[in-house]
Structure 1
Amino acid sequence: MELKGKKVLVTGADGFIGSHLVEALIEEGARVTAFVFYNSFNSWGWLDTFPADTLSKINVFQGDIRDLNCLREVVKDVDSIFHLAALIAIPYSYIAPESYIDTNIKGTLNILQAAKDFSVERVFITSTSEVYGTAKYVPIDELHPFQGQSPYSASKIGADRIAESFYRSYNLPVTIVRPFNTYGPRQSARAVIPAIISQLLSGKTEIKLGNLTPTRDFNYVKDTVNGFIEIAKSDRTIGEEINIATGVETCIGDIFEEIRLQINKEAKVINDDIRIRPEKSEVDRLLGSNKKIMELTNWKPEYSLKDGLKETIVWLRDNLERYKTDIYNV
């Protein structure tokens, strides 16, 4: 699919990955409508930090993906949809699982229904590597079994399967895009990398963390967004679910060591029980296969972990006032 000139809707455009995707789509020449969560403060999330000349190229629509009528209003005029809006914090899903069902499953159903009703050309549903749970084998390819190890992951499994059903039942041109752990500028401190960096940059020398042994496949956000773009450009990706992964496995303890070396070599870890998942819910190992995305598209990862962390640290140093480093961000 040629993106230049296309009318593209991005849900969750006010968030971490969504805001980066909006920027990338504008660079591709797409006509972007940014769907942001309605609030009485008229906040557009990270879009509020964009320069005026970039904002002038974006049509901002405030709404709620849980409301089908709201979505029908914005979907009727678009060619393609990148659906990123979701509740993503795993700890909060233990507290409020019903809200994850409403937002992640019902919200995705609403997107699919509106896309079907208005014959949208392409629909990209954002999944997560958490749907796989702890790896049964590595690297994890798209045929790996699904395991609902948290209410969050279960809700995303449900959303993915609803998306698959619309492709199979109605021939809706759906692609399920499944990024592994993305990090970079604008990420919430609920995630481990900005949690470490923000604590260190605030001057702390005892860094509160949870379990250090789980491994993850970390994507720098620019690589993740480029994955979305390349998947969208390829018609071979219709009806597929596709990992975006580096194929490199890193444990949380090693992530801390790399960040510590870049900021403060004297820092050490303090175990914080509140940051540890329930035993059966912890995902111990994630290492993704990128064979499929590299076969179907022109994508390949461009950032090493060291370089991605370096850019993230620079950005966080300039934006540290946005982070509450004295509290645990659920």
Structure 2
Amino acid sequence: MQILVTGGAGFIGGHLAERFVREGHDVVALDAMHPYYDLGIKEHTVEVCREASASSEAGGYEFVEGDVRDADLVSDLVSDAQFVYHQAGRAGVRDSVSDPRVYDEVNVDGTLNLLDAARASDVERVVMASSSSVYGKPQYLPYDEQHPTTPVSPYGASKLAAERYGCAYSEVYDLPFVGLRYFTVYGPRMRPNMAISNFVSRCMNGESPIIYGDGTQTRDFTYVDDVVEANLALMETGAADGEAVNVGSTDNIEIRELAAVVRDEIAPDLEFEFADRHDADAEHTHADTSKASVLLGYEPDHTIREGVAKFIEWYEQNRGWYEPLVLAS
């Protein structure tokens, strides 16, 4: 298969690109290399994918530095693709509060560029990275896909708008499109400004984990390998076309308990530090993945504790290159 992965040097996009290459598909990875965090992590991801493609049984890999706001570039790349995995987007709830317009430009207009290119080409399916941030304040938990979508941040609003455009294009233009609503994805090469990477890096260096708020907020953290499996399923089935689908762990945990899990594994004598919680941060997230189970056969393999243990092991093995970039961000 010829696969285009936008945001292909990023965290989830990089894992998708690597997996596709290892399974023999030809991948083009498009990424703007925006310095939201240390670009060394993205550069390492590109090298991992290039090394994966060197195997005799692997597929080809090409990296293209460019922006989804460049409609001509997007059109050229989409025209050669059979599947498009749209992972590109400006990330971060807090930063979206200070600069909402750029989130609209990248996450909404950039997605429209891709959708327009896809409907003009012979694309078999567009799979977009949406977010649990589309739900906003919970009226009930766990969130199912029928829960009202009332995002409380510009980031969440931009992901909802992009997702809704994709579903509308599926209805009006018969473009196969699926929006996957990710719930706080983590794992190897994750962004350094996430709770788990912060907790692990601080504990590794003998520094107390910092908890924002009182720590009673809960999250449904999803291990990246489970997210990859959900995406892979969409190469085989059109059952979810035109739909938005939750991808989570079905497990959730209080932030202070998560900090304790990490601390107790690495440096049990450390005390916690507390700081002010940001208003745009969600209070609780918890995914109902029944729809993904029915449509995609999705069954997450990792509990939060299992996934965190795997990440800590990976961190220790890759500390030499990863930790300096985490601490610099």
TM-score by length of 1: 0.90
Task: Give distance in 2, aligned partners of 1:223 and 1:247.
Answer: 11
Pick from 193, 207, 210: which aligns with 1:208? 210
2:238 counterpart letter in structure 1: D
Please name the residue that 1:323 is paired with: 325
CA distance in 1, matches of 2:47, 2:311: 16
Cα displacement (A) at 1:119: 2.8
What's 2:57 paired with? none
Instruction: Check the 8 A contact 1:65/1:110 in 2, yes or no.
Output: yes
Question: Residues 221-240 of structure 1: matches in 2 within 5 Å?
Answer: 221-240=224-243
Task: Call closer, same or farther: CA 1:67–1:310 in 2, change over 3 Å.
Answer: same
- Aligned counterparts of 2:104 and 2:182: Cα–Cα separation in 1: 20
Determine whether 1:58 maps to 2:58: no
Query: Is 2:45 the partner of 1:47?
Result: yes
1:321 is displaced (CA, Å) by 3.2
Tell me how far 1:315 sits from its aligned partner.
2.0
The answer (yes or no) to whether the contact 2:218–2:284 under 8 Å persists in 1 is yes
Matched, 1:130 2:126: no
Deviation of the 1:52 alpha carbon: 4.8
Distance 1:321 1:193, change over 3 A: closer
Q: Could you say which residue in structure 1 is the equivalent of 2:89? A: 86
The CA RMSD over aligned residues, in Å, is 2.1
Residue in structure 1 matching 2:147, options 144, 149, 174 = 144
Distance 2:78 2:294 in 1: 31
Instruction: State TM-score, norm by structure 2.
Output: 0.91
Q: Aligned to 1:186, what secondary structure does the other structure show?
A: coil
Structure 1 portions without partners, runs of 5+:
1-5
Report Cα offsets for 1:275-325 as digits up to 9, x if no partner. Answer: x212xx331111111111111122211112222111211222323433343
CA distance in 1, matches of 2:158, 2:297: 30
Q: Which residue of structure 1 lines up, in the alignment, with residue 29 of structure 2?
A: 34
Residue type at the aligned position of 1:15: G
Aligned partner (choices 25, 28, 39) of residue 20 of structure 2: 25
Q: CA deviation at 1:29?
A: 2.4
Q: Which amino acid in the other structure matches residue 48 of structure 2?
A: F
How much has 1:10 moved relative to structure 2?
0.4
* In structure 1, distance between residues paired with 2:152 and 2:51: 43
After superposition, the Cα gap between the structure-2 partners of 1:172 and 1:148, relative to the gap in structure 1 and judged at 3 Å, is same
Aligned to 2:303: 304
Q: Quote how far apart the aligned CAs of 1:55 are.
A: 4.3
1:127, 1:160 within 8 Å by CA — same for their partners in 2? yes
Contact 2:251–2:303, Cα closer than 8 Å, also in 1: no
User: Residues 68-111 of structure 1: CA distance to partner in whole angstroms, max 9, x if unpaired?
Assistant: 01101111111110000011111211221111111100111111
Q: Which runs of 5+ in 2 are unaligned?
A: 55-59
Residue equivalent to 1:3:
none
Q: Please state how far the C-alpha of 1:228 moved relative to its aligned partner.
A: 0.9
Pairing 1:314–2:316 present? no
| Alignment partners' CA distance in 2, 1:106 and 1:321 | 34
Counterpart for residue 162 of structure 1: 165
